[in-house]
């Protein structure tokens, strides 16, 4: 891993030039510093994965896939057509999945825009040296004399395994959020939300389609996939689908197959963990690759190497990983670089379930359907059916659990607050105050209100997931890929794909025909890929093994060397060491973050 695969830029005080130079690693050779009006200077460091256009007046730097309709945009074309200047950006002519910045070479001024579905992140901070930005949080620490944990991040980390919204794990460092413009001029920073989901919902408010009319969505999706393939070909790179064999990645592989030029060999890849619970994922990937004629690469990974990959991921990202599987993206990327150096672009099916129905959709549907039933009646029904019809028994129980809180989004038990929470609730209540927990949950709800303010609970849950879990996952995957010479692209995370999704009524978009993801499943059935629908859904991780690894396996040494945090009583801390769970995992990633990112 090298920071040379990331970029940084900013406007600094001229007397801080040498301090900035000393902060930039020696392996970054392309360092550019130039004087501006007054006592300011600008700087930027290029990376092999950033697109930079340099004129006499300004620098335009972009990352990710940007487009205007079906026309792919480069930094040079955006500069020539003045899609962005140091003062402003034409957000109506820049779409896709990326960010773009324009830095003046005359005045201390710059403008940055992050599209509404951008995976590339932008972190920024005001330092004594000036205003500094980067697409990697770890890179940001190089400019900081004091690396301190953001205290607001603690309860969020132990609830969500991430810091949702505009804050980060680092005190004083923020990130630009989707659809926002950052404008900087001579020490003054202005950030404004210019594009939101509610705008798209309003623009697509016409007659709705039924899930059976799935061909409309697939046509729009394939057009975006085609643009992604065109983008990779322009970079003279082969692409491969990150194929787990589930519905989302199989649909993406199908889209690639239908969009690819005649004679093009299809490629796919996945990691193959030796964790026993991961075995079905391997078989699912093998089956989907065979069905679609893809040349599939399995990267075999042993559990004993997991601690090394976990620490490498944290050091690479400059923050804890959002999911236990994220560490395994490192050996996958390393293998492709050394053994398949023709493949430089990986396509991910992430975000499909966020658009089309997560598992929680079924529970919300049931709760709404039976909300007029007395809760005691549902619990009695669940008890009666427990031995004879387990699925119905579980459904009745879940409905009884959810119904009392359906109308109170501030209640911790409301599904809007429990979805995408990765913790032990009893433990977190012992470690943080009710106010701290409620404030953390409110951050997520406020994001959904700001961006969408959806009318239905089922849509609120999915939009919240898009703005938090999905935004974080895509952003971190993007950085893991860049660090190891791969670009990870997300075709589902595109405004055109989201607009196509909005053409379907949310009442049936997420759950219909007694199943989640009805639109995607209808597409796969139409192409005779029914076998994919019959397989159980797996999360791509290895949650069954993690507690064992932490108790007396490959992670045991790291767990038992953790420092006890001040918010935990000794007895509770010892309990989590002896009986590891997701809270222990959160303790471990926070401990490693402090030791490998904050401490150096």
**What are the tens digits of pLDDT across the range 219-254?**
999 999 999 999 999 988 899 999 999 999 999 999
Closest by CA to 485, choosing from 27, 47, 136, is: 47
479 dihedral zone (left: phi>0; alpha: psi -120 to 50; beta): alpha
Q: How confident is the model at residue 414 (pLDDT cuts 50, 70, 90)?
A: very high
- Quick one: tokens of 409? 């989004």
**pLDDT at residue 2 in the model:** 65
**pLDDT at residue 4 in the model:** 76
How does pLDDT run across 115-126, given as a tens digit for each residue?
Answer: 999 999 999 999
On average, the pLDDT of the chain sits at 93
User: How far is the C-alpha of 8 from the C-alpha of 24, rounded, in Å?
Assistant: 9
Asked if the model's pLDDT at residue 366 lies above 70, the reply is yes
Domain 199-355+466-534 has CATH 3.40.50.620: yes
Asked if the model's pLDDT at residue 539 lies above 70, the reply is no
Task: Tell me what percent of the residues of the chain surpass a pLDDT of 70.
Answer: 98
| Close Cβ partners of 572 (under 8 Å, ≥ 6 residues apart) | 427, 430, 431
Residue 227 · residue 72 · CB < 8 Å = yes
Q: What is the mean pLDDT of residues 32-37?
A: 90
Give the β-pairing of 266-273 and 238-242: parallel
User: Rounded to a whole number, what is the largest CA-CA distance in the chain?
Assistant: 79
**pLDDT at residue 576 in the model:** 96
Q: What is the mean pLDDT of residues 276-285?
A: 90
| Close Cβ partners of 27 (under 8 Å, ≥ 6 residues apart) | 2, 3, 4
Asked if the model's pLDDT at residue 74 lies above 60, the reply is yes
- Within the chain, all domains assigned CATH 3.40.50.620 are found at 199-355+466-534
Q: What is the mean pLDDT of residues 460-472?
A: 95
How does pLDDT run across 545-581, given as a tens digit for each residue?
Answer: 899 999 999 999 999 999 999 999 999 999 999 999 9
Asked if the model's pLDDT at residue 70 lies above 90, the reply is yes
Query: Which of 4-18, 246-260, 346-360 shows the lowest mean pLDDT across its residues?
Result: 4-18
Asked if the model's pLDDT at residue 525 lies above 60, the reply is yes
442 or 541, greater pLDDT: 442
Asked if the model's pLDDT at residue 29 lies above 80, the reply is no
How does pLDDT run across 287-336, given as a tens digit for each residue?
Answer: 999 999 999 999 999 999 999 999 999 999 999 998 888 999 999 999 99
Q: What is the pTM of this model?
A: 0.95
Q: What is the mean pLDDT of residues 94-105?
A: 96
**pLDDT at residue 209 in the model:** 93
Q: Tell me the CA distances in angstroms from 383 to 366, 398, 401, one per residue in order.
A: 17, 12, 14
In the block, tokens 């890849």 appear at 269
Asked if the model's pLDDT at residue 364 lies above 90, the reply is yes
- Within the chain, all domains assigned CATH 3.60.20.10 are found at 3-195
Helix or strand (DSSP H, E) at 538? none
Q: How confident is the model at residue 543 (pLDDT cuts 50, 70, 90)?
A: confident
Task: Tell me what percent of the residues of the chain surpass a pLDDT of 90.
Answer: 80
Q: How confident is the model at residue 536 (pLDDT cuts 50, 70, 90)?
A: low
Domain 3-195 has CATH 3.50.30.30: no
């Amino acid at each position: 891993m090298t920071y040379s695969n990331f970029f940084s830029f900013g406007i600094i005080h001229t007397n801080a030039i040498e301090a900035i130079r000393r902060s930039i690693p020696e392996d970054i050779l392309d360092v550019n510093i130039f004087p501006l009006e007054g006592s300011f200077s600008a700087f930027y460091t290029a990376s092999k994965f950033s697109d930079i256009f340099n004129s006499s007046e300004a620098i335009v730097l972009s990352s990710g896939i940007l487009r205007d309709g079906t026309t792919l945009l480069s930094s040079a074309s955006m500069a020539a057509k003045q899609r962005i200047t140091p003062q402003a950006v034409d957000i109506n002519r820049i779409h896709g999945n990326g960010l773009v910045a324009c830095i003046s070479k005359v005045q201390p001024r710059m403008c940055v825009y992050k599209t509404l579905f951008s995976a590339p992140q932008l972190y920024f901070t005001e330092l004594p040296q000036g205003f500094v930005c980067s697409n990697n949080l770890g890179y940001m620490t190089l400019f900081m004399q004091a690396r301190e944990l953001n205290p607001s991040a603690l309860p969020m980390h132990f609830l969500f395994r991430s810091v949702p919204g505009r804050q980060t794990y680092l005190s004083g460092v923020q990130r630009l959020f989707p659809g926002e413009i950052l404008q900087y001029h001579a020490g003054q920073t202005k950030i404004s939300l210019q594009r939101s989901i509610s705008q798209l919902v309003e623009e697509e408010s016409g007659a709705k389609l039924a899930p059976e009319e799935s061909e409309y969505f697939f046509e729009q999706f394939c057009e975006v996939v085609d643009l992604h393939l065109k983008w990779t070909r322009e970079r003279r790179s082969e692409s491969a689908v990150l194929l787990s064999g589930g519905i989302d990645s199989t649909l993406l592989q199908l889209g690639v197959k239908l969009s690819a030029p005649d004679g093009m060999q299809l490629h796919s890849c996945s990691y193959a963990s030796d964790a026993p619970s991961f075995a079905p994922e391997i078989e699912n990937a093998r089956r989907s690759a065979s069905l679609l004629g893809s040349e599939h690469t399995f990267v075999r990974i042993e559990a004993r190497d997991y601690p090394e990959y976990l620490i490498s991921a944290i050091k690479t990202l400059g923050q804890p990983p959002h999911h236990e599987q994220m560490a395994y993206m490192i050996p996958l990327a390393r293998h492709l670089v050394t053994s398949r150096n023709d493949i430089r672009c990986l396509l991910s099916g992430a975000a499909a379930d966020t658009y089309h129905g997560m598992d929680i959709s079924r529970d919300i549907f049931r709760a709404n359907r039976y909300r007029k039933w007395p809760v005691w009646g549902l619990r009695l029904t669940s008890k009666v059916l427990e031995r004879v019809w387990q699925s119905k028994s579980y459904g009745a129980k879940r409905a009884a659990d959810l119904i009392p809180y359906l109308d109170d989004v501030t209640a911790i038990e409301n599904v809007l607050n429990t979805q995408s929470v990765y913790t032990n609730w009893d433990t977190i209540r012992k470690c943080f105050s009710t106010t701290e927990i409620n404030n953390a949950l409110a951050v997520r709800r406020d994001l959904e209100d700001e961006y969408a303010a959806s009318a239905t609970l089922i849509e609120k849950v999915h939009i919240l997931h898009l703005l938090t879990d999905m935004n974080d996952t895509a952003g971190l995957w993007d950085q893991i890929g860049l660090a190891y010479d791969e670009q990870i692209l997300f075709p589902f995370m595109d405004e055109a794909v989201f607009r196509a999704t909005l053409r379907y009524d949310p009442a049936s978009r997420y759950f219909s025909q007694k199943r989640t993801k009805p639109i995607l499943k209808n597409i796969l059935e139409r192409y005779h890929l029914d076998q994919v629908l019959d397989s159980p859904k797996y999360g791509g991780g290895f949650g069954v093994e993690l507690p064992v690894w932490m108790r007396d396996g490959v992670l045991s040494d790291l767990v038992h060397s953790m420092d006890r945090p001040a918010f935990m009583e000794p007895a509770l801390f010892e309990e989590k060491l002896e009986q590891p769970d997701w809270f222990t995992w959160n303790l471990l990633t926070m401990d490693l973050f402090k030791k490998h990112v904050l401490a150096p």
